[in-house]
Amino acid sequence: MTSTPTFLGSSVGKKVVMAVTGLVLFGFVIGHMLGNLQVYLGPKALNDYGEFLREFLHGQGLWIARLVLIGCVSLHIWAATSLTLMNRAARPIGYRARQYEESTFASRTMRVSGVIVLLFVVYHLMHLTFGNVHPSFVTKDVYHNFIAGFQVPWVSGFYVIAMLCLGLHLHHGVWSMLQTIGLSHPRYDRLRHACATLITVIVIGANVSFPIAVLAGFLHE
């Protein structure tokens, strides 16, 4: 006898988990970008933003957000890994010649870009949140840590590379998410592509501007 697969055990269930957790992570990326843009308003604006995050919900808000994000990242990785294993099990013998007529470079590099982004997130937390790999970390001085951190060229270079990988991941992620929620029709494909591209350009353009602005001297202490 074969048991009936559960919802989460099915490919559809895993894709839903990918879409929901991806939506939460996408919201975080947007919020994080908007918060960091306050660096262009000066030290007070960015430090006040940091103080707001630390004091939100009497200091519990930031930890709640972190726990939610850790849960979403874990589920996202689980769903992605499970889908990959299911696809390999369904076709254990690979194609003799690969055809990329419908896939894109972003979709074909999702696993690689995802791993790079994950490694970057770990480093980013150690760099600008905990400060244990920062050259001159000052507790609660977000602006100083931001500027001093990006004044190291290789750090800024790694940040830019990670953001480009995030762009690839984000573009295909938004495209797939819109498909999962039902916008999978030739009539909407152009809109889906435009939406995914616009969001990616805005987010990655803003994030990449931070290290460039610091290295160019536009942002300084």
- Which of 107-111, 116-120, 168-172 is the least confident region? 107-111
**pLDDT at site 97:** 46
**CA–centroid distance for 95 within its chain:** 31
* The predicted structure's pLDDT at residue 1: 46
Average pLDDT on 114-135 reads 91
Nearest 5°: phi and psi at 217? Answer: 85, 5
Domain spans in the chain, listed from the N-terminal domain onward: 11-91+106-215
Q: Is the pLDDT of residue 198 over 60?
A: yes
Give percent of the chain above pLDDT 90: 50
Question: In this predicted model, which residue has the larger pLDDT, 51 or 188?
Answer: 51
Structural contact between residues 113 and 165, judged by C-beta atoms closer than 8 angstroms = yes
Give dist(CA 68, CA 58) in Å, integer. Answer: 18
Give the DSSP letter of residue 24: H
Structure tokens at 25: 């992570």
Sign of the CA dihedral with 188 first, then 190, 194, and 197 last: positive
Q: Measure the CA–CA gap between 168 and 19, rounded to whole angstroms.
A: 16
